[in-house]
Amino acid sequence: MFDLTDELEELRASVRRLAEERIAPNAAAADEHEEFPAASWEAWRDAGFAGLAFPVEWGGQGAGLLAHAIAVEEVARVCASSSLFAFIPKLAMTPVLDHGSEELRDRYVRRVAGGEVLAAYCLSEADAGSDVAAMRTRAVRDGDHYVLTGAKHWVTNAGVCDLYTVFAKTDPDAGHRGISAFVVEKGFPGFSIGKLERKMGMRGSPTGEVRLDGCVVPAANLVGEEGRGFYYAMGALDRSRPLVGAQALGIAQAALDLATGYVRERRQFGRRVADFQGVQFLLADLAAHLDAARLLVYRACARIDAGRPGTAAASSMAKLFASDTAMRVTTDCVQLLGGLGYTKDTPAERYMRDAKVTQIYEGTNQIQRVVIARQLLGPGGA
Protein backbone atom coordinates (compact mmCIF):
# COMPACT_ATOMS: atom_id res chain seq x y z
CA MET A 1 0.00 0.00 0.00
CA PHE A 2 2.84 2.37 0.72
CA ASP A 3 5.49 1.96 -1.89
CA LEU A 4 6.57 5.56 -1.59
CA THR A 5 7.13 7.64 -4.68
CA ASP A 6 10.66 8.42 -5.81
CA GLU A 7 10.10 12.00 -4.68
CA LEU A 8 9.25 10.91 -1.13
CA GLU A 9 12.19 8.51 -1.00
CA GLU A 10 14.46 11.34 -2.11
CA LEU A 11 13.01 13.53 0.62
CA ARG A 12 13.68 10.81 3.20
CA ALA A 13 17.28 10.45 2.03
CA SER A 14 17.81 14.21 2.11
CA VAL A 15 16.38 14.63 5.62
CA ARG A 16 18.25 11.58 6.88
CA ARG A 17 21.53 12.96 5.59
CA LEU A 18 20.90 16.32 7.26
CA ALA A 19 19.76 14.64 10.48
CA GLU A 20 22.78 12.37 10.74
CA GLU A 21 25.32 15.05 9.83
CA ARG A 22 23.93 18.20 11.47
CA ILE A 23 21.36 17.20 14.12
CA ALA A 24 22.57 13.91 15.63
CA PRO A 25 25.85 15.42 16.94
CA ASN A 26 23.86 17.81 19.18
CA ALA A 27 21.33 15.32 20.55
CA ALA A 28 23.12 13.95 23.61
CA ALA A 29 24.21 17.38 24.85
CA ALA A 30 20.73 18.84 24.40
CA ASP A 31 19.33 16.02 26.53
CA GLU A 32 22.08 16.15 29.13
CA HIS A 33 21.98 19.92 29.65
CA GLU A 34 18.24 20.46 29.02
CA GLU A 35 19.07 23.00 26.33
CA PHE A 36 17.26 23.78 23.10
CA PRO A 37 19.55 22.54 20.27
CA ALA A 38 19.86 25.87 18.47
CA ALA A 39 22.48 24.54 16.06
CA SER A 40 20.11 21.77 15.00
CA TRP A 41 17.27 24.23 14.46
CA GLU A 42 19.54 26.46 12.38
CA ALA A 43 20.62 23.49 10.24
CA TRP A 44 16.97 22.53 9.67
CA ARG A 45 16.03 26.11 8.82
CA ASP A 46 19.03 26.79 6.60
CA ALA A 47 18.32 23.62 4.63
CA GLY A 48 14.91 25.07 3.79
CA PHE A 49 12.83 22.56 5.73
CA ALA A 50 11.06 25.02 8.04
CA GLY A 51 8.47 25.64 5.33
CA LEU A 52 8.20 22.04 4.15
CA ALA A 53 4.53 21.55 5.04
CA PHE A 54 3.30 25.12 4.56
CA PRO A 55 1.38 26.19 1.44
CA VAL A 56 3.42 27.72 -1.37
CA GLU A 57 1.26 30.85 -1.36
CA TRP A 58 2.33 31.54 2.22
CA GLY A 59 6.05 30.97 1.75
CA GLY A 60 6.22 27.19 2.13
CA GLN A 61 7.06 24.27 -0.11
CA GLY A 62 3.57 22.81 -0.24
CA ALA A 63 4.47 19.27 0.83
CA GLY A 64 1.64 17.11 2.11
CA LEU A 65 1.22 15.51 5.50
CA LEU A 66 2.80 12.23 4.39
CA ALA A 67 5.97 14.05 3.31
CA HIS A 68 5.95 15.97 6.59
CA ALA A 69 5.60 12.73 8.57
CA ILE A 70 8.57 11.16 6.79
CA ALA A 71 10.69 14.21 7.62
CA VAL A 72 9.62 14.18 11.29
CA GLU A 73 10.35 10.45 11.51
CA GLU A 74 13.88 10.91 10.21
CA VAL A 75 14.68 13.76 12.60
CA ALA A 76 13.21 11.85 15.56
CA ARG A 77 15.42 8.87 14.68
CA VAL A 78 18.45 10.92 15.76
CA CYS A 79 16.94 13.49 18.16
CA ALA A 80 13.35 13.40 19.37
CA SER A 81 13.63 16.85 20.92
CA SER A 82 14.62 18.33 17.56
CA SER A 83 11.68 16.68 15.82
CA LEU A 84 9.40 18.98 17.81
CA PHE A 85 10.65 22.07 15.97
CA ALA A 86 9.93 20.13 12.79
CA PHE A 87 6.18 19.97 13.41
CA ILE A 88 4.92 22.06 16.35
CA PRO A 89 5.15 25.37 14.40
CA LYS A 90 2.80 23.91 11.77
CA LEU A 91 0.39 22.82 14.53
CA ALA A 92 0.43 26.36 15.92
CA MET A 93 -0.23 27.93 12.54
CA THR A 94 -2.87 25.46 11.32
CA PRO A 95 -5.80 27.37 12.90
CA VAL A 96 -4.47 30.55 11.26
CA LEU A 97 -4.12 28.85 7.88
CA ASP A 98 -7.59 27.34 8.12
CA HIS A 99 -9.53 30.19 9.67
CA GLY A 100 -7.38 33.29 10.05
CA SER A 101 -7.68 36.46 8.03
CA GLU A 102 -5.48 37.15 5.03
CA GLU A 103 -3.70 39.75 7.15
CA LEU A 104 -2.89 37.22 9.88
CA ARG A 105 -1.59 34.68 7.38
CA ASP A 106 0.54 37.26 5.65
CA ARG A 107 1.92 38.67 8.88
CA TYR A 108 2.63 35.42 10.73
CA VAL A 109 2.49 32.29 8.58
CA ARG A 110 5.07 33.63 6.15
CA ARG A 111 7.51 34.28 8.97
CA VAL A 112 7.09 30.79 10.40
CA ALA A 113 7.31 29.10 7.00
CA GLY A 114 10.47 31.06 6.25
CA GLY A 115 12.11 29.95 9.50
CA GLU A 116 12.31 33.53 10.71
CA VAL A 117 10.46 32.62 13.93
CA LEU A 118 9.16 29.58 15.78
CA ALA A 119 5.54 29.24 16.91
CA ALA A 120 3.94 27.39 19.83
CA TYR A 121 0.48 25.97 20.55
CA CYS A 122 -1.11 26.95 23.88
CA LEU A 123 -4.16 24.89 24.76
CA SER A 124 -3.59 23.01 28.04
CA GLU A 125 -3.86 24.47 31.52
CA ALA A 126 -3.15 23.18 35.01
CA ASP A 127 -6.75 21.96 35.40
CA ALA A 128 -7.64 21.66 31.72
CA GLY A 129 -5.64 18.99 29.94
CA SER A 130 -7.89 16.35 28.42
CA ASP A 131 -10.87 18.45 29.56
CA VAL A 132 -10.22 21.41 27.27
CA ALA A 133 -13.59 23.06 28.02
CA ALA A 134 -12.50 23.53 31.66
CA MET A 135 -9.91 26.16 30.69
CA ARG A 136 -9.96 29.35 32.74
CA THR A 137 -7.89 31.73 30.66
CA ARG A 138 -10.13 34.66 29.77
CA ALA A 139 -10.17 37.02 26.81
CA VAL A 140 -12.24 40.18 27.21
CA ARG A 141 -12.89 42.57 24.33
CA ASP A 142 -11.92 46.17 25.07
CA GLY A 143 -12.33 48.40 22.04
CA ASP A 144 -9.84 47.48 19.34
CA HIS A 145 -8.06 44.85 21.42
CA TYR A 146 -8.61 41.90 23.75
CA VAL A 147 -7.21 41.54 27.26
CA LEU A 148 -6.07 37.98 28.03
CA THR A 149 -5.68 36.80 31.61
CA GLY A 150 -4.61 33.35 32.74
CA ALA A 151 -1.84 30.80 32.28
CA LYS A 152 -1.14 28.05 29.78
CA HIS A 153 0.88 24.99 30.79
CA TRP A 154 2.88 22.30 28.98
CA VAL A 155 3.72 24.65 26.12
CA THR A 156 6.28 23.05 23.81
CA ASN A 157 9.33 25.24 23.13
CA ALA A 158 8.10 27.88 25.58
CA GLY A 159 10.50 30.81 25.66
CA VAL A 160 12.20 29.80 22.42
CA CYS A 161 9.22 30.81 20.29
CA ASP A 162 8.27 34.30 19.20
CA LEU A 163 4.61 33.49 18.40
CA TYR A 164 1.97 31.66 20.45
CA THR A 165 -1.45 30.49 19.32
CA VAL A 166 -3.46 30.89 22.53
CA PHE A 167 -6.93 29.51 23.25
CA ALA A 168 -9.00 31.44 25.78
CA LYS A 169 -12.60 31.82 26.94
CA THR A 170 -14.45 34.79 25.45
CA ASP A 171 -17.70 33.45 26.95
CA PRO A 172 -16.96 31.65 30.24
CA ASP A 173 -20.53 30.31 30.55
CA ALA A 174 -20.66 28.61 27.15
CA GLY A 175 -18.39 25.61 27.81
CA HIS A 176 -16.40 24.55 24.76
CA ARG A 177 -18.49 26.92 22.62
CA GLY A 178 -17.05 29.86 24.50
CA ILE A 179 -13.42 29.29 23.45
CA SER A 180 -11.66 31.57 20.96
CA ALA A 181 -8.17 31.58 19.45
CA PHE A 182 -5.59 34.35 19.23
CA VAL A 183 -2.08 34.86 17.86
CA VAL A 184 0.03 36.37 20.63
CA GLU A 185 3.52 37.78 20.16
CA LYS A 186 6.01 37.36 22.98
CA GLY A 187 6.54 41.13 23.03
CA PHE A 188 2.89 41.98 23.73
CA PRO A 189 2.37 43.76 27.10
CA GLY A 190 1.43 41.31 29.84
CA PHE A 191 3.03 38.27 28.18
CA SER A 192 5.74 36.34 30.03
CA ILE A 193 7.23 32.87 30.39
CA GLY A 194 6.81 31.22 33.77
CA LYS A 195 8.13 27.95 35.14
CA LEU A 196 10.02 25.62 32.79
CA GLU A 197 9.44 21.96 33.60
CA ARG A 198 12.20 19.51 34.46
CA LYS A 199 11.24 16.50 32.39
CA MET A 200 11.93 12.81 32.03
CA GLY A 201 12.41 13.04 28.28
CA MET A 202 12.38 15.48 25.34
CA ARG A 203 14.76 17.46 27.50
CA GLY A 204 16.19 19.41 24.57
CA SER A 205 12.81 21.03 24.00
CA PRO A 206 11.77 23.42 26.78
CA THR A 207 8.26 22.86 28.08
CA GLY A 208 6.79 25.53 30.27
CA GLU A 209 4.17 27.98 31.39
CA VAL A 210 2.94 30.95 29.40
CA ARG A 211 1.58 33.72 31.64
CA LEU A 212 -0.96 36.23 30.42
CA ASP A 213 -1.27 39.02 32.97
CA GLY A 214 -3.69 41.39 31.30
CA CYS A 215 -1.96 40.68 27.99
CA VAL A 216 -3.06 43.20 25.37
CA VAL A 217 -3.75 41.54 22.00
CA PRO A 218 -5.03 43.46 18.95
CA ALA A 219 -8.55 42.49 17.94
CA ALA A 220 -7.18 41.72 14.49
CA ASN A 221 -5.25 38.82 16.07
CA LEU A 222 -8.46 36.93 16.78
CA VAL A 223 -8.34 33.77 14.65
CA GLY A 224 -11.60 33.30 12.77
CA GLU A 225 -14.74 33.83 14.84
CA GLU A 226 -15.33 34.15 18.56
CA GLY A 227 -16.54 30.91 20.12
CA ARG A 228 -15.09 28.64 17.43
CA GLY A 229 -11.69 28.07 19.02
CA PHE A 230 -12.46 24.58 20.34
CA TYR A 231 -13.26 23.35 16.85
CA TYR A 232 -10.17 25.03 15.43
CA ALA A 233 -8.04 23.39 18.13
CA MET A 234 -9.46 19.90 17.57
CA GLY A 235 -9.16 20.20 13.79
CA ALA A 236 -5.50 21.12 14.12
CA LEU A 237 -4.82 18.22 16.49
CA ASP A 238 -6.48 15.73 14.14
CA ARG A 239 -3.86 16.63 11.54
CA SER A 240 -0.98 16.79 13.97
CA ARG A 241 -1.52 13.50 15.81
CA PRO A 242 -0.12 11.44 12.90
CA LEU A 243 3.04 13.53 13.25
CA VAL A 244 3.32 12.48 16.90
CA GLY A 245 2.98 8.97 15.51
CA ALA A 246 5.80 9.71 13.06
CA GLN A 247 7.94 11.01 15.91
CA ALA A 248 7.28 7.76 17.80
CA LEU A 249 8.26 5.78 14.69
CA GLY A 250 11.62 7.54 14.52
CA ILE A 251 12.37 6.89 18.19
CA ALA A 252 11.34 3.24 17.88
CA GLN A 253 13.38 2.72 14.71
CA ALA A 254 16.48 4.13 16.38
CA ALA A 255 15.99 1.79 19.34
CA LEU A 256 15.42 -1.26 17.14
CA ASP A 257 18.52 -0.45 15.09
CA LEU A 258 20.60 -0.07 18.24
CA ALA A 259 19.34 -3.33 19.76
CA THR A 260 19.80 -5.28 16.54
CA GLY A 261 23.37 -4.07 16.11
CA TYR A 262 24.19 -4.84 19.73
CA VAL A 263 22.93 -8.43 19.79
CA ARG A 264 24.84 -9.19 16.61
CA GLU A 265 28.11 -8.29 18.34
CA ARG A 266 27.49 -9.27 21.96
CA ARG A 267 28.49 -12.84 22.91
CA GLN A 268 27.26 -14.91 25.86
CA PHE A 269 27.70 -18.63 26.57
CA GLY A 270 30.01 -18.85 23.56
CA ARG A 271 27.41 -17.60 21.08
CA ARG A 272 26.19 -14.34 19.67
CA VAL A 273 23.16 -13.09 21.59
CA ALA A 274 21.43 -12.81 18.20
CA ASP A 275 21.69 -16.60 17.79
CA PHE A 276 19.28 -17.29 20.66
CA GLN A 277 15.79 -18.00 19.38
CA GLY A 278 14.14 -16.08 22.21
CA VAL A 279 16.00 -12.95 21.15
CA GLN A 280 15.16 -13.54 17.49
CA PHE A 281 11.45 -13.89 18.26
CA LEU A 282 11.51 -10.72 20.36
CA LEU A 283 13.16 -8.73 17.57
CA ALA A 284 10.75 -10.17 15.01
CA ASP A 285 7.76 -9.05 17.10
CA LEU A 286 9.22 -5.56 17.51
CA ALA A 287 9.88 -5.24 13.77
CA ALA A 288 6.35 -6.38 12.93
CA HIS A 289 4.76 -3.93 15.37
CA LEU A 290 6.92 -1.11 14.08
CA ASP A 291 5.99 -1.82 10.47
CA ALA A 292 2.30 -2.00 11.40
CA ALA A 293 2.60 1.34 13.20
CA ARG A 294 4.29 2.88 10.18
CA LEU A 295 1.45 1.73 7.94
CA LEU A 296 -1.14 3.26 10.28
CA VAL A 297 0.73 6.58 10.37
CA TYR A 298 1.22 6.70 6.61
CA ARG A 299 -2.41 5.69 6.01
CA ALA A 300 -3.71 8.50 8.23
CA CYS A 301 -1.47 11.01 6.46
CA ALA A 302 -2.51 9.77 3.01
CA ARG A 303 -6.21 10.01 3.92
CA ILE A 304 -5.77 13.57 5.14
CA ASP A 305 -3.74 14.52 2.05
CA ALA A 306 -6.52 13.09 -0.12
CA GLY A 307 -9.13 15.19 1.68
CA ARG A 308 -11.04 12.17 2.90
CA PRO A 309 -13.77 12.91 5.48
CA GLY A 310 -13.80 11.40 8.95
CA THR A 311 -10.06 11.18 9.48
CA ALA A 312 -10.13 11.76 13.27
CA ALA A 313 -10.26 8.05 14.10
CA ALA A 314 -7.46 7.24 11.63
CA SER A 315 -5.32 9.95 13.23
CA SER A 316 -6.04 8.64 16.71
CA MET A 317 -5.25 5.05 15.69
CA ALA A 318 -1.93 6.17 14.23
CA LYS A 319 -0.94 8.12 17.31
CA LEU A 320 -2.16 5.44 19.72
CA PHE A 321 -0.52 2.44 18.08
CA ALA A 322 2.74 4.16 17.12
CA SER A 323 3.33 5.63 20.58
CA ASP A 324 2.51 2.35 22.36
CA THR A 325 4.85 0.61 19.92
CA ALA A 326 7.62 3.11 20.62
CA MET A 327 7.30 2.52 24.34
CA ARG A 328 7.46 -1.25 23.83
CA VAL A 329 10.41 -1.15 21.43
CA THR A 330 12.47 1.24 23.56
CA THR A 331 11.79 -0.69 26.76
CA ASP A 332 12.84 -3.95 25.12
CA CYS A 333 15.89 -2.23 23.64
CA VAL A 334 17.05 -1.35 27.16
CA GLN A 335 16.38 -4.95 28.22
CA LEU A 336 18.37 -6.39 25.32
CA LEU A 337 21.33 -4.18 26.13
CA GLY A 338 21.12 -5.23 29.77
CA GLY A 339 23.15 -3.17 32.22
CA LEU A 340 24.66 -1.15 29.37
CA GLY A 341 21.18 -0.08 28.27
CA TYR A 342 20.52 1.32 31.73
CA THR A 343 23.52 3.65 31.53
CA LYS A 344 24.10 6.81 29.54
CA ASP A 345 26.91 5.13 27.62
CA THR A 346 24.35 4.38 24.90
CA PRO A 347 21.25 6.36 23.85
CA ALA A 348 18.93 3.44 24.75
CA GLU A 349 17.73 5.02 27.98
CA ARG A 350 17.18 8.36 26.22
CA TYR A 351 15.03 6.66 23.61
CA MET A 352 12.93 5.10 26.36
CA ARG A 353 12.51 8.40 28.21
CA ASP A 354 11.66 10.28 25.03
CA ALA A 355 9.13 7.68 23.89
CA LYS A 356 6.96 7.98 27.01
CA VAL A 357 5.56 11.41 26.29
CA THR A 358 4.29 10.37 22.86
CA GLN A 359 1.63 8.42 24.80
CA ILE A 360 0.64 11.60 26.65
CA TYR A 361 0.75 14.80 24.62
CA GLU A 362 -1.64 15.92 21.88
CA GLY A 363 -4.27 13.86 23.68
CA THR A 364 -3.41 10.97 25.97
CA ASN A 365 -3.82 7.51 24.53
CA GLN A 366 -6.91 7.12 26.67
CA ILE A 367 -8.41 10.08 24.80
CA GLN A 368 -7.43 8.46 21.49
CA ARG A 369 -9.41 5.39 22.50
CA VAL A 370 -12.42 7.61 23.20
CA VAL A 371 -12.15 9.11 19.70
CA ILE A 372 -11.86 5.67 18.09
CA ALA A 373 -14.75 4.24 20.11
CA ARG A 374 -16.93 7.21 19.22
CA GLN A 375 -16.26 6.56 15.56
CA LEU A 376 -17.20 2.90 16.00
CA LEU A 377 -20.29 3.39 18.14
CA GLY A 378 -21.47 6.87 17.29
CA PRO A 379 -21.76 9.79 19.75
CA GLY A 380 -24.68 8.19 21.58
CA GLY A 381 -22.93 4.88 22.12
CA ALA A 382 -19.53 5.98 23.37
Closest CA to 213 of 141, 122, 136, 149: 149
Active-site option among 74, 209, 349, 362: 362
**CA distance linking residue 64 with residue 356, whole number of Å:** 27
Q: What is the helix (H) or strand (E) element at residue 112, kind and residue range?
A: helix 110-113
Torsion over CA of 324, 327, 332 and 334, rounded to 10 degrees? 180
> What CA–CA distance (Å, rounded) separates 371 from 377?
10
Look at residues 58, 25, 66 and name the one whose alpha carbon lies nearest to residue 43: 25
C-beta atoms surrounding 340 within 10 Å: 14
Residues 6 or more apart from 307 whose CB is under 8 A from it?
Answer: none
Q: How many residues does the chain have?
A: 382
Q: What secondary structure letter does DSSP report for 125?
A: B
Annotation marks residue 21 as catalytic: no
Give the residue among 80, 367, 29 at the shortest CA–CA distance from 252: 80
Q: What is the DSSP string of 49-85?
A: GGGTTS-GGGTS----HHHHHHHHHHHHHH-HHHHHH
Catalytic residue ranges:
362
